[in-house]
Chains A and B, each alone.
Chain A
Amino acid sequence: MKIYNSYILIIAILLLLTTVILVALGQNSLDVYYTTYVIEALIVTELYIYFNAKARRGLSLVSAILFGGFLVIVSLQVIKILA
């Protein structure tokens, strides 16, 4: 389970650091926060290629859910621009 722990730890540290940096930069849009989180999570998941097949399936589902959220944000932005 060592690989699980290192994966979770890296994701948690990255998300926390991102929050701190974006707050320091004065970012006030929740969409930017979410998009950055999703991109980071997807990159780290792709880098961990040595997960077993079952874990990869589970994480693919999570990635799909997160990507779905990202698409919703993009769609809302597009609607906002068109309106």
Chain B
Amino acid sequence: MAFLRSSRCPNCGQKATGISCRWCGYPLMRGRAVKEPREQKRLKKPVQASAKAEPKAKEEAREKAKTTKNLYTWAGLGLLVAGSLVFLAAYFVLLLTWLAALGISMLILSFILLALGRTIPKLPPEVSALFLETGINNIAALVEELGIKSKAIYLPSSLTSGGPQALIPLHFNPLLSPITKAFPQRLIVRYGASSDNIGLLVTTTGTTAVGMLESIPGPISAELESALTFLFRGILGVADGTRVITSENHIEVEIYNSHIENKTAWFYQCLGGPLASVVASVAAEAWNRPVTIKQEEHHRGRCSIELEVLGEDI
């Protein structure tokens, strides 16, 4: 049973209950122990319950991460032991060269597995999906509630205060307005002199993905293709490869064997799908100019994205 102390504050003299005086905030640690008010106790219960649930969720995530990591590490350790035994038995006891060679190949594989096992991200994909879904759902709700129909304009980091972000004009078909300076780090921004030139400046999946690149690619299609393949194949593991064709102000990107499903929600019509969002952000950063998604098509694992590079006028 929980008890709280003192019924009168030693500092201001006012009548007070709880762990501190509600008049002057002085801690009530001395004096007679008084029973905690029932209401205060009732209010504490959900907090305690959620506090208990939080470490449990963390523990589960940690366990999951451990299991995923151990798939490679355990396989590596198993091959290390088996390979050593096979090699020793074949080389010293059985005198079989081919079996000893097989043992060596098992040892080589085990070294590779152990090296790769150390590089697996600590967070399991389910936890990452949880964060992603939450963020996307919030932006989707905002976009749908405001009834925005215009396409997002992906801006490079030179036009924002942080990483590359997407500007969603609030009005459909806005007037062309030059961007004279970088936008402040705010949700609602004004991008022109007219009263209609207001938009939402949001962080997208592309914003985070660009941060995963080792270096920002140049505007040449080969560099852009290499950066996108590195992201989709090497880091994110969501596609097998990309092909980029650039012509004047148009960029065509083909993504092969993408594993991300295509959704046709309003939000995706505005900002594009996750893959298109990443492509647009990388392209905006590479060209150092605003970019918009003209078209996005998915057909049997192949994703075709057409981007338009805008001038300084948007």
Instruction: Using CB atoms and an 8 Å cutoff, list the residues of chain A in contact with chain B.
Output: 1-4, 7-8, 11-12, 15-16, 18-19, 22-23, 27-30, 33-34, 37-38, 41, 50-55, 58-59, 61-62, 65-66
Number of interface residues of B (CB under 8 A): 26
Which residues from B are CB-within-8-Å of A51? Answer: 234
Contact partner, A66, options B100, B101, B108, B113, Cβ 8 Å = B108
Alpha-carbon distance between A18 and B233 when the two chains are bound, in angstroms: 28
The majority secondary structure among interface residues of chain B is helix
Contact (Cβ within 8 A) A50 B237: no
Contact (Cβ within 8 A) B234 A62: no
Within 8 A of A (CB), among B216-273: 229-230, 233-235, 237
Alpha-carbon distance between A51 and B118 when the two chains are bound, in angstroms: 13
Alpha-carbon distance between A28 and B101 when the two chains are bound, in angstroms: 10
Take A4-B72, A4-B116, A62-B112 as given contacts and tell me if A50 and B230 are in contact as well, using a CB distance cutoff of 8 Å.
Answer: yes
Within 8 A of A (CB), among B74-106: 91, 97-98, 100-102, 104-105
Which residues from B are CB-within-8-Å of A37? Answer: 101, 104-105, 108
Tell me whether B128 is interfacial, beta carbon within 8 Å: no
Q: Which residue of B lies closest to A50 (CB)?
A: B234
Between A and B, 14 residue pairs with Cβ closer than 8 Å are: A3-B234, A7-B116, A8-B109, A11-B108, A12-B109, A15-B105, A15-B108, A22-B98, A30-B97, A33-B97, A33-B101, A50-B229, A55-B116, A55-B119
Contact (Cβ within 8 A) A59 B115: yes
Tell me whether B287 is interfacial, beta carbon within 8 Å: no
Contact (Cβ within 8 A) A8 B112: yes
Alpha-carbon distance between A30 and B191 when the two chains are bound, in angstroms: 70
Contact (Cβ within 8 A) B109 A15: yes
Contact partner, A53, options B109, B111, B214, B229, Cβ 8 Å = B214
Q: Which residue of A lies closest to B235 (CB)?
A: A52
Take A41-B112, A61-B115 as given contacts and tell me if A16 and B97 are in contact as well, using a CB distance cutoff of 8 Å.
Answer: no
Which residues from A are CB-within-8-Å of B98? Answer: 19, 22-23, 33
